[in-house]
Structure 1
Amino acid sequence: MNTKPYWNPYLAGLLLGLALLAAFVVAGQGLGASAFPKRVLAGACDIFSPEWTEGSSAFGSYVTRGNPLSNWLVIQVIGVLIGGFLAALTAGRLKSEVVRSPRISRGARLWLALLGGIIMGFAAALGRGCTSGQALSGGAALASGSWAFMMMVFAGGYSVAWFVRKQWL
């Protein structure tokens, strides 16, 4: 398979900014996907127990406005999956692999990735949005909380980088 070079980061940033602008104009919403799993779970609960779902403080707001899956967020996530697949296919990078350090097993890498995803999911729920929602959408709207969030993301990343770098070298 012929692998093409990565996109120019300035062009990719410009296109991401245009996609964010289009999301604001077309959907009236920014980019972000942290509520997607909750919306899908609300849809599944509504199928099996509509009364319970409507009365639930966690899922009730999703079903009172119609089908929880007929939302811009569901369309966005489906679009991201299709777009990512097509981008990998056209760039010659569509393959199944686990990127890891030689110091860690494949299974341990997958478990650590799952654990990190779970922690980020809970943090996104507590922090009122995922990294893309906070950084892209909140940053574009000049929300002070989003800027503070991203400063802390970078501070946290730099503060632990020295400790985890030896796992990758």
Structure 2
Amino acid sequence: MDWIMQPWPWYVSGAAIALVMLLLLLVGRNFGMSSNLRTFCTMCGAGKTSEFFRFDWKEQQWNLIVVVGAIIGGFIAAHYLTADPAVAINPVTVAELNTLGFESAGKAYLPTELFSSGVFSEPATLGLLALGGFLVGFGARYAGGCTSGHAISGLSNLQWPSLLAVIGFFAGGMVMIYFLFPLIF
């Protein structure tokens, strides 16, 4: 039973993802988390104010199971399958993050300096959160899907637009980490 508390090898997760993608391909479905947000908004009546949300959300009802599974799976993994809440990060990276003010680097999965409830009391942080949320939402809509949908489902289907989107996601992440992140912190 001790093996459950250890990180599983990449090839187990990779094989599980490949199996799920194969099953989705066989039944003619596409995977993506941002489509679930559209479905939730439609369920709540957003179709009354926007053409984008006017569709039969019941056809996407199956995809909502992904959200429920992600929530339940994350809870189980965090509370029952995690022996040590610290993240094994390269000591050089920990030192660099410490110089930027992240004292929790390597001690927690999410840096408390960014994810504690105290961040909501600072106007600058709220502005960054709002801007980041807008950019993520705009990017997912403009790219026709989110990172998980393009990287997992789109690439599995050998879709050229998904390859371009994934390259863009990685390039944007690199620009953020190496150029913008040091300016912000």
TM-score, normalised on structure 2?
Answer: 0.65
Secondary structure of the residue aligned to 1:7 is: coil
Aligned to 1:74: 64
Secondary structure of the residue aligned to 1:78 is: helix
Secondary structure of the residue aligned to 2:45 is: helix
Alpha-carbon separation, structure 2, partners of 1:137 and 1:143: 9
- The answer on 1:140 being equivalent to 2:156 is yes
Of structures 1 and 2, the one with the larger relative CO (CA 8 A, separation 6+) is 1
Distance 1:101 1:60, change over 3 A: closer
Distance 1:159 1:45, change over 3 A: closer
Aligned length, in residue pairs: 156
- The answer on 1:62 being equivalent to 2:52 is no
2:110 equivalent among 89, 94, 99: 99
Q: Segments of 4+ in structure 1 off by > 4 A?
A: 101-106, 108-115, 164-167
CA contact (8 A) 1:134 1:146 kept: yes
Secondary structure of the residue aligned to 1:32 is: coil
Gaps of 5+ in 2: 86-107
CA contact (8 A) 1:23 1:30 kept: yes
Aligned to 1:83: 73
Give the deviation of 1:43 after TM superposition: 1.4
Gaps of 5+ in 1: 47-51
Aligned to 2:5: 4
Distance 1:93 1:164, change over 3 A: farther
Alpha-carbon separation, structure 2, partners of 1:5 and 1:123: 35
